[in-house]
Amino acid sequence: MSGKVEFYRHQLGEEEAASWLGAVKTLFLTLGPQVAAFEQELGRYLVRGREGAPAPHVVGTNACTMGLMLALRALDVGPGDEVITTPMTFAATASAILHLGAKPRLVDVEPRTGLIDPVAVQAAVGPSTAGILPVHLYGQMADMKALRAIADRHALFIVEDSAHGIEMERDGVRPGDLSEAAVFSFYATKNLTSGDGGAVATRDARVAERLRRLRNHGATKAATDRHGAAYQHWDIVELGYKANLTDLDAALLRPQLPRAEEKRDARERLARRYESRLRERVPELASPPATALGVPWLVERRGRSSHHLFTIHTRPGERDAMLARLGAAGVGTAVNYRALHTLTYFSEVLDLACGALPVAEEIGDRTISLPMYPTLTPDEQDRVVEAVATAWT
């Protein structure tokens, strides 16, 4: 088989289309029954297999980016506050903090996983620190137990950037278990997708209530709440945003939830197959110096990954040439991520010189993400491996 191996292909099919059409034919297209049902179902998914455990509150948003902003606002983050976060992430993580007038305090990541380093977090805590915003990179969870201990010691909040999955677990901890809020993304390339969309899970009912208000202009009631025989006035009680999930998006997401585990398992099988084939074909990938920084799949797994992204690290200085060769060979790739403070805007606003966070910078210079999705065929995967082997030499 020839043709391009796409970096990502969504798996929305007949069931999602039928669910979407069903929602189109109802009265409410937004903030209606589909959104409410999806929020309940995602809450239950997050406590799957835990007999009798109460589900967190879930609030659907139009994106993870806005979910992060709403969560920070709901926790009263504002000017003068610092939020400790990671440079190994998408712009949204730091942008959300900056939009609230607060300052992202970037700290370095663990060499073997690319996850925020709890030792660096502890060292960065200061009088202005309001909270910690870890990112569960590629689908591996940050060390939430260590981060919670730091947060408790210094009375900080934790908001988790869980854009890379709903499926993960580490040390018995899932997104939302040990934080004030965990925020998910349903962007076009995510494991669950509605093109764009997001959700916030929180165990704090007051935070959930504030999130619901903030996502809808700070209004006391949404149109669906006011739908009845007699007109009901609403009020605006704080400055809010327009950032809710729509019923059409929720209708696309709902049929995906019952298949999330099955798809995660398929991704894990693909990850293991990549691992064994790449070890055979590019032994250098599995031995120093390529692994001096660690390649996430060579790291002993802790818990369960959502396997959102599969990354390799090239030799120093060779990443961009490899990207060009893989592109020419018809393999879709991405870079997750160039360290945030090396991007023009963040380098200006964060006042961090190159060299300040060496581990993140080196991962950022050497990382490539390969195609990873349940419908990637063995043939396509073999072509990716061959293209990597050829491009490596």
Ligand X SMILES: Cc1ncc(COP(=O)(O)O)c(C=O)c1O
User: Six-digit token pair at 164?
Assistant: 């890379």
Nearest to 340 by CA among 82, 69, 91, 64: 91
The residue within the footprint of ligand X, chosen from 115, 125, 133, 135 (CB under 6 A), is 135
- The answer to whether residue 89 forms part of the interface with ligand X (CB under 6 A) is yes
Stretch that binds ligand X, among 24-32, 147-155, 160-168, 220-228 (CB under 6 A): 160-168
- The answer to whether residue 249 forms part of the interface with ligand X (CB under 6 A) is no
Handedness of CA 83, 84, 87, 92 (dihedral sign): negative
How near is the Cβ of 39 to ligand X at its closest, in Å? Answer: 16
How near is the Cβ of 198 to ligand X at its closest, in Å? Answer: 5
In the complex with ligand X, the residue whose CB is nearer, 92 or 387, is 92
- The answer to whether residue 86 forms part of the interface with ligand X (CB under 6 A) is no
How near is the Cβ of 50 to ligand X at its closest, in Å? Answer: 26
Contact pattern from residue 42 through residue 81 relative to ligand X, giving x for each residue in contact according to CB under 6 A and a dash for the rest? ---------------------xxx----------------
Contact pattern from residue 169 through residue 198 relative to ligand X, giving x for each residue in contact according to CB under 6 A and a dash for the rest? ----------------x-x----------x
CA angle 232-236-238, nearest 5°?
155
The residue within the footprint of ligand X, chosen from 93, 129, 246, 369 (CB under 6 A), is 93
Q: Is 372 exposed, middle or buried (0-12, 13-18, 19+ CB in 10 A)?
A: buried
Distance CA 320, CA 211 (A): 41
Contact pattern from residue 319 through residue 358 relative to ligand X, giving x for each residue in contact according to CB under 6 A and a dash for the rest? ----------------------------------------
How near is the Cβ of 49 to ligand X at its closest, in Å? Answer: 26
SS3 content of the chain, % helix, strand, coil (to 5): 40, 15, 45
In the complex with ligand X, the residue whose CB is nearer, 178 or 340, is 340
Number of residues that bind ligand X (CB under 6 A): 14
The residue within the footprint of ligand X, chosen from 20, 38, 45, 90 (CB under 6 A), is 90
The residues facing 95 across adjacent strands are none
- The answer to whether residue 85 forms part of the interface with ligand X (CB under 6 A) is no
Distance CA 200, CA 83 (A): 18
Full DSSP string of 205-229: HHHHHHHHHHTBTTBS--TTTT-SS
81: left (phi over 0), alpha (psi -120 to 50) or beta: beta
Query: Which long-range contacts does 279-288 make (Cβ < 8 Å, 24+ apart)?
Result: 281/385, 281/386, 281/388, 281/389, 282/388, 282/389, 282/392, 284/315, 284/392, 285/312, 285/313, 285/392
In the complex with ligand X, the residue whose CB is nearer, 89 or 246, is 89
Contact pattern from residue 6 through residue 45 relative to ligand X, giving x for each residue in contact according to CB under 6 A and a dash for the rest? ----------------------------------------
In the complex with ligand X, the residue whose CB is nearer, 311 or 391, is 311
- The answer to whether residue 92 forms part of the interface with ligand X (CB under 6 A) is yes
Full DSSP string of 338-366: --GGGSHHHHHHHT--TTSSHHHHHHHHH
In the complex with ligand X, the residue whose CB is nearer, 60 or 240, is 60
- The answer to whether residue 163 forms part of the interface with ligand X (CB under 6 A) is yes
Q: Is 348 exposed, middle or buried (0-12, 13-18, 19+ CB in 10 A)?
A: exposed
Contacting positions for ligand X (CB under 6 A): 63-65, 89-90, 92-93, 135, 161, 163-164, 185, 187, 198
